[in-house]
Amino acid sequence: MTSIFFDIGIIIIFATILGYIGRLLKQPLIPLYILAGLIIGPVGLGWITDYEVIGTLSEIGVAFLLFVVGLELDLRKLKDVGNVVITGSIIQIVAMFLIGISVGVWLGFIGEELIYLGLIVSFSSTMVVIKLLADKNELDTLHGRIVIGILLMEDLFAILAISSLQTISNFSPLLLLEAIFKVFGIIALVYVSGRFIFPTIFKVAARSQEILFLIAITVCFSFGMLGLVLGLSIAIGAFLAGVSLANLPYNLEIESKVRSLRDFFSTIFFVSLGMGLVFTNITKWLLPLIILTAIIIIFKPLLITTILSFFGYKRKTAFMTSTTLAQTSEFSLIIVAQGAILGHISNEFLSITTILATITITISTYFIKFDSQIYEKSKKYLRFFESFSKTNRELTYMDEHPVHKVVLIGYDRMGYSIAKSLRKMKKHYLIVDFNPDIVKRLIRAKQPCIYGDAGDIEILEKLKLHQVEMVISTIPDVNAAKLLIKKIRHVNAHSIIIVTAMDIEDALKLYDEGADYVIMPHILGGNHMAIMLEDISYDLDKLIETKIDHIRELKERKEVHYHH
């Protein structure tokens, strides 16, 4: 027991030291956690002795992170990106699977290892991507929602793959049907529990914060154990446990209570990745490792960019989405670990998979951290991808008004309320949005709109900025906002410019650039609440009236947003 305590203590201390240094140097944390594992693991100082316990703790880390991912999952958010998520994900997974097998044959892999190789390159890391997007407040952006949707589809395919591993060497339709039956059985249990059982249980549990936390953890462990019993995995069961609680009114409270546990155990997971690196026969595996790394961090993003371009998405959205998914998945590690247990793959194959995961996760961490800067340097080379889509030229609607006095950039979320106010003010306004599905909906409603990215010079030139009275951008992209301000001020000194920022530093920069007002959603929300409290005071009737109006507005927005 003392040994375990010291092992965990060493892991946390080294992860904290390197993480603190990384924060001072403004570097992403995940590669530093992996480096900490490399230092204290067998390749480095060799201070960790109980690898089995650490491996178990890291598996719990994956389970808790996927539990929180399930809690945050709102399938309605994926409605606007449903087409590309479903069809595009299937194309990408199948294509990468076939490419993995083809490259494996060329590299000399044989038998079941080819199947495992195809699976490894097909999936991206939900754990890494969700953590990094959450740190950057980009989960609710357009590319963030596409990424979450693609990851969800990949996770479903990974569940089916893990369920079918036993049938690889000795294929049996009966065993495959049994595996599929297990998967759909546990999904059905998730639906029934979330709809009919958990609402009553958690309504009682919510009276005590301690019991609420314990019940949530109980659900996580129960589904995790069920997943293990059914031959799936603890991580899959934990993910589905989160999904079963996602629609409860207490999901945010549960998430806030579980987050600390998630961070603790997920840190151990990343450190254990570094500890698992064993550089034996590295010369033999060097060429396959280089080629597989290139496929995942270069070819896979190019494939995803091409797919998104065919679906009509702009190069920036396609680029941000594709670079975010340029790594292997924690499910790949689960798949190969299961393959080693079943005797399908060698220990050397298991080691190369771990090294591949570490390398691609580390590289993609920097991709995600500096994606805006990388895009700015490479965007001129990405224009080629937009030529794939005819949708770009079709997604425009103009009414009889030759000049629109107000340009609203970004209709989704906050833009919806602004557009509603502009209609009340009888202002003729034009909407610019880079989500093709939203623009199609606006065209059906005969709302003047243009499909495009506010950071694209060509789009800005189409807006006749020299004639507009006001430009409002709800897109929290600092570089795009700076370009917008510069372009407008060059041709129209009198136009009112309102842009959006997520933090104080960026807001002050935009004021220095010449913005008339910078929207900061969290501050604006606080100010709105303060005004509402002053207006309502202790008048219960006013509060009820405000509540009824708010419910009416939410239902109206839901109707417009999700059912068109």
Q: Is the full-model pTM beyond 0.75?
A: no
Residue 1 has pLDDT above 70, yes or no: no
State pLDDT tens for residues 535-562: 766 666 666 776 677 676 666 655 544 4
> How far from 118 is each of 93, 94, 121, 163, 348, CA to CA, in Å?
9, 9, 6, 16, 17
**Mean pLDDT, residues 473-477 taken together:** 81
Structure-block tokens of residue 274: 């570094």
**Mean pLDDT, residues 10-37 taken together:** 82
State pLDDT tens for residues 37-80: 888 877 767 777 666 767 777 777 777 777 777 776 666 655 65
State pLDDT tens for residues 268-313: 877 877 776 666 666 677 888 889 999 999 899 989 888 888 887 7
**Mean pLDDT, residues 406-432 taken together:** 80
**Mean pLDDT, residues 368-394 taken together:** 68
Q: How far apart are CA 225 and CA 222, in angstroms?
A: 5
pLDDT of residue 95: 92
Every domain of the chain with CATH number 1.20.1530.20 lies at: 63-272+283-385
**Mean pLDDT, residues 466-484 taken together:** 81
pLDDT of residue 562: 44
pLDDT of residue 564: 42
Q: How far apart are CA 432 and CA 556, in angstroms?
A: 22
Looking at per-residue pLDDT, the higher value among 531 and 147 belongs to 147
pLDDT of residue 98: 92
**Mean pLDDT, residues 151-176 taken together:** 70
Q: How far apart are CA 443 and CA 449, in angstroms?
A: 7
**Mean pLDDT, residues 222-240 taken together:** 78
Query: Mean pLDDT score of the chain, rounded to an integer?
Result: 76
Structure-block tokens of residue 515: 């913005």
Q: 230: number of CA atoms within 13 Å, CB side?
A: 28
State pLDDT tens for residues 71-125: 766 666 556 566 777 888 889 999 999 998 898 888 888 777 888 888 888 888 8
**C-alpha radius of gyration, the chain, whole number:** 25
Third-level CATH fold of 395-519: Rossmann fold (3.40.50)
Every domain of the chain with CATH number 3.40.50.720 lies at: 395-519
The CATH number of the structural domain formed by 63-272+283-385 is 1.20.1530.20
Please list the residues that pair with 463 across neighbouring strands. none
Q: How far apart are CA 122 and CA 102, in angstroms?
A: 13
Residue 241 has pLDDT above 50, yes or no: yes
State pLDDT tens for residues 516-527: 888 877 777 666
Range of lowest pLDDT (75-79, 186-190, 468-472, 490-494): 75-79
